[in-house]
């Protein structure tokens, strides 16, 4: 790839990378997903800021308490005045 991705292309690009690597998106393998995510971190993106985050813990977002592992890449999107507008966060979450 020669041109940086637009922020709104990153989620579909990550999913395509995962599928190409043989990851079943309905039941992803942690090891392969992590390897692909590490490759995704190196993909250039046209963004105001770019961060890689890792979250883990026991939460009850989806009902009873459960352990959640989540790694994500966060992109800042600016508004028309160059101020912070919002964040896009393509991520891989394991329950």
Give pLDDT, residue 42: 96
Assessment of whether the complete model's pTM goes beyond 0.85: yes
DSSP 73: E
What span, in angstroms and rounded, lies between the C-alpha atoms of 67 and 60?
Answer: 9
pLDDT in tens, 30-82: 999 999 999 999 999 999 999 999 999 999 988 899 999 999 999 999 999 99
Give pLDDT, residue 61: 84
**pLDDT(95) > 90:** no
What are the CA-CA distances from residue 78 to residues 3, 4, 25, 43 (Å)? 19, 17, 30, 20
Please compute the mean of the pLDDT values over residues 9-21 and round it to a whole number. Answer: 98
**pLDDT(13) > 90:** yes
């Amino acid at each position: 790839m020669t041109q940086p991705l637009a922020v709104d292309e990153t989620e579909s690009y990550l999913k395509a990378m995962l599928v190409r690597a043989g990851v079943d998106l309905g039941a992803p393998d942690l090891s392969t997903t992590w390897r692909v995510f590490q490759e995704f971190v190196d993909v250039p993106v046209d963004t105001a800021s770019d961060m890689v985050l890792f979250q883990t813990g026991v939460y009850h977002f989806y009902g009873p308490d459960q352990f959640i592992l989540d790694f994500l890449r966060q992109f800042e999107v600016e508004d028309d005045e160059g101020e912070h507008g919002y964040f896009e966060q393509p991520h891989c979450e394991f329950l």
